[in-house]
Amino acid sequence: MFKSLDHVAIAVSSLEESLAFYQDKLGLMLLQRLETGTGKAAFVEIAGHGQLELIQSQHPVTRGFHHFAILSDDIEHMYAEFRRTSTPTHESELDVVGGKKFFMMRDPDNVVVQVIQRE
């Protein structure tokens, strides 16, 4: 079912300024940039052991922690289970962006959890 923690995402006010900080000051490597329906994002790698997603939204959101993602090896099964059991924290449909399948939900304390499977 779950394999590992995939990434942690933070909402930023300026993607360019944040990339400059994480790349130039911390030495993290840029893996991917992408445009989304509501803004833009970038993934940077942390010493080959994890990723940080930087999200700049067109809509004002709280800056800082946004969500964390758990890597799955069978996302269709997990999604079907959440739908079947009517998990009240279910938040989104199964979607594909940037070659990754995912869905989002919230935990009992309203923390956003993304379940993701890389193609």
Domain assignments of the chain as residue spans, ordered by start: 2-118
- Can you give the pTM of this predicted structure? 0.70
Place of tokens 């990339």: 19
pLDDT, tens only, 58-109: 876 677 888 888 888 899 988 888 778 766 555 678 888 878 899 888 776 6
- The rounded mean pLDDT for the chain is 84
Note whether 114 and 65 are within 8 A (CB): no
Q: What angle do CA 81, 86, 88 make, to 5 degrees?
A: 120
Q: What is the pLDDT of residue 84?
A: 80
CATH 3.10.180.10 fits 2-118, yes or no: yes
